[in-house]
Amino acid sequence: MARQEPRPGSDESELRLWLDEVDKSMGFRPARALGMSCGTVTIDPRLAMVLVIWNNRLKLYQLPKGRRNLDESMLAAALRETYEETGLHVTPIQLDVATRATPPKTELSDTSTKPPNITEGHPSNEFVGACFYPDPQSETEALKSVYFFAASAECTATPDSGTQEEWEKLDAKWIPLAEVSSTLRFEAEIQAVMQTVEDMKKSGYTIGA
């Protein structure tokens, strides 16, 4: 159950109890213990195909993603990593994502009340969701977050060669949307694809025939 914010006029004891609960649930990690990666759920809407990569080292299929560079925006990191891992330039899709980002302010915005917790009805390039897990490949303890952005590309496009780092052993592949759940290794990434499809349809996109 969501913690309720104190009502206007709450007495000091009620406010103090509420703040104590917030304090107990709050945590801090230094930057060195947090890893941020960004990637894309890239779809060819016309043919209902999804772009994935085969990781030859780990022997699994996954979505393209990688670590954000210093001073790089999350979206830019997602597009760059997708290009480096697949050789394909993908195009970000503006979607009506239900997000906790605040809506853009206009001259008609009502500033007398707090913005809603969930913002909808504002197409944007917000991330569609994120995965969180202890980073199994880090030499020191770190909590990893991976933010996924919606993108499109044509599955018939010819990828550029030589875009990967020398140590990467990845093969790009397009798979039918219907095969995502049986192909991707991680359930959280399957959910990322399904959320992207849901947001695309909500935003007026047609996927497949």
Which residue reads 């917000």 in tokens? Answer: 126
Q: What is the per-residue pLDDT for 137?
A: 85
Q: What is the per-residue pLDDT for 161?
A: 92
Q: What is the per-residue pLDDT for 104?
A: 82
Query: Rounded to whole angstroms, how far apart are CA atoms 204 and 132?
Result: 29
User: Which tokens belong to 2?
Assistant: 């969501």
Q: How many other C-beta atoms lie within 10 A of the C-beta of residue 81? A: 20
44 residue type, one letter: D
Q: What is the pLDDT along the chain (209 residues), one digit of tens a residue?
A: 556 777 656 688 888 999 999 999 999 999 999 999 999 999 999 999 999 999 999 999 999 999 999 999 999 999 999 999 999 999 999 999 999 999 888 767 777 788 888 999 999 999 999 999 999 888 889 999 999 999 999 999 999 999 988 788 899 999 999 999 999 999 999 999 999 999 999 999 999 97
User: Which tokens belong to 199?
Assistant: 């947001």
Q: What is the per-residue pLDDT for 204?
A: 96
Q: Own/partner pairs for 118-121, CB < 8 Å, 24+ apart?
A: 120/96, 121/96
Dump strand ranges (E) for the chain: 34-44, 49-55, 60-62, 65-67, 91-92, 129-134, 143-152, 170-176
Distances (CA, A) of 138 to 34, 35, 142, 209: 10, 9, 7, 43
Q: What is the per-residue pLDDT for 9?
A: 60
Based on its alpha-carbon atoms, the radius of gyration of the chain, rounded to whole angstroms, reads: 20
Q: What is the per-residue pLDDT for 7?
A: 64
Q: What is the per-residue pLDDT for 166?
A: 78
Supply the pTM of this predicted model. Answer: 0.91
Domains and CATH numbers, the chain: 32-102+115-202 (3.90.79.10)
Q: What is the per-residue pLDDT for 129?
A: 98
Q: What is the per-residue pLDDT for 10?
A: 67
